[in-house]
Amino acid sequence: MSDDLAALFLRHLCQTSAAPLGIEVARAAGSTVWDASGRAYLDLLAGMGVANVGHTHPEVVAAVRAQAERHLHVMVYGEFVQEAQVRLATRLAGLLAPPLAVVYFTSSGAEAIEGALKTARKHTHRRRIVAFEGGFHGDTLGALSIGGNPVYRAPFEPLLPEVTRLPFDDVAALAAIDAHTAAVVVEPVQGEAGVRVPSPAFLPALRRRCDDTGALLVLDEVVTGFGRTGRLFAHQHWGVVPDLLVLAKALGGGLPLGAFVGGPAVMATLGHDPPLAHVTTFGGHPLSCAAGLAALEVLLREDLPARAAGLGARLLERLRALVGRGGLVAARGLGLLLGLEFAEAAASARFARRALERGLILNWTLHRDTVVRLAPPLVLSDAEAERAVEGIVAALV
């Protein structure tokens, strides 16, 4: 990074950690990010799960260019018929199981979580929210209220009342969900908690408990959606259908976009008593929706969920063979959402630093500093995967 730009970055952009990665990005394409000096980095985080079809995919760029020449923002959400919004919502609805057919677009995942929480409370006329230890759903006050790490909640308390957190992947604990519960919010695979994949019985049991109590099941697939885990949506691994599905990250093909999706009866609650019960100015921005639709068509045409399943399984096998080196104690994951667990935080930080020195972009998870997450673009080639393994081996010293 040039001295002037580095100084301005540190002076004028709010710093959220003492040691940002600090790569000055010149350009990005596919699974590669180039810095201002021309050095290439293999991106094993995909912009934190955003670039599932790769960075600056030509079809996504073309869709953005065409939409930009047509119109940008023209009206607050829901008032004008904007083709980019309608086409993406229709395509999504066609890919989801009934009754998921009505989409509310937002600008981010945290905003989508907020909308889902409001919808659940208003629809059920209940207040209590159940979430899970280790869960991460964003950093707005409502999303933070259901987050599973007290370290990040404590500085901002008091937060939303009547939030109960249960242990993740504990079927017996689900008895705490009762007739006062408006919604249960859960990630199908916990990402920031260290890539925790639940046992086969957990999500089906949770679906049954919500049915029995009348609580809405809200699945947060901000990270796991759009092929990341080897299915188009992670909930398809367990054969469950949520009442509300929360999406973001890869949804926009590289542009900011979130959404929550539900059945007509549930989503209709936002249109009355009062009308405009939930509004947004930039949610579903036409540029983002055009990019999202183009990315989705690439994902489906190239069957990238299957690519994630196959390549992820092969990578996981290679990574498990490395356990015992450099403090690595476990490797786990689903599709191309993989976690490397270390014996201590210092070992994971050392590994991440050495990997970056070798041109690999990765980092530890927010709520589990002993786990390094890998979430590369789903277009990662076999040769790039081999480079990634070689770099990981070299960093495990």
pLDDT in tens, 95-115: 999 999 999 999 999 999 999
Please identify, in words, the CATH class of the domain defined by 3-53+303-395: alpha beta
Q: Is 313 exposed, middle or buried (0-12, 13-18, 19+ CB in 10 A)?
A: middle
Q: With 70 as the cut, is the pLDDT of residue 2 above it?
A: no
Q: With 80 as the cut, is the pLDDT of residue 3 above it?
A: no
Q: With 60 as the cut, is the pLDDT of residue 330 above it?
A: yes
Where in the sequence of the chain do the CATH 3.40.640.10 domains occur?
Answer: 59-301
Please identify, in words, the CATH class of the domain defined by 59-301: alpha beta
pLDDT-derived band at 1, boundaries 50, 70, 90: very low
pLDDT-derived band at 365, boundaries 50, 70, 90: confident
> pLDDT averaged over the chain?
96
Mean pLDDT of 236-245: 98
- Our answer to whether residue 118 is catalytic in this structure is no
Mean pLDDT of 30-43: 97
Q: What angle do CA 267, 272, 276 make, to 5 degrees?
A: 85
- d(C-alpha 54, C-alpha 43), whole Å: 9
- Our answer to whether residue 351 is catalytic in this structure is no
Catalytic, out of 43, 105, 132, 136: 136
Mean pLDDT of 256-269: 98
Q: From its phi and psi, is residue 195 left (phi > 0), alpha (psi between -120 and 50) or beta? A: left
pLDDT computed for residue 127 by the predictor: 97
What are the helix (H) ranges across 302-338? 304-320
pLDDT in tens, 292-327: 999 999 999 999 999 999 999 999 999 999 999 999
Residue 138: name the closest of 191, 100, 203, 92 by CA: 191
Where in the sequence of the chain do the CATH 3.90.1150.10 domains occur?
Answer: 3-53+303-395
Helix (H) or strand (E) holding 186: strand 181-186
The position carrying tokens 């959220």 is 16
Q: Look at 12-21, 182-191, 276-285 and tell me which has the smallest mean pLDDT.
A: 12-21
Catalytic, out of 132, 226, 243, 249: 249
For residue 345, the tally of other CB atoms under 10 A from its CB is 14
Cβ contacts of 40 within 8 Å, gap of 6 or more: 32, 33, 34, 359
The pair of three-digit structure tokens given for residue 146, joined into one six-digit string: 């259901």
| φ and ψ at residue 29, rounded to 5 degrees | -155, 140
Catalytic, out of 43, 220, 226, 351: 220
- Our answer to whether residue 249 is catalytic in this structure is yes
Threshold 0.85, pTM exceeds: yes
Q: Look at 3-12, 51-60, 71-80 and tell me which has the smallest mean pLDDT.
A: 3-12
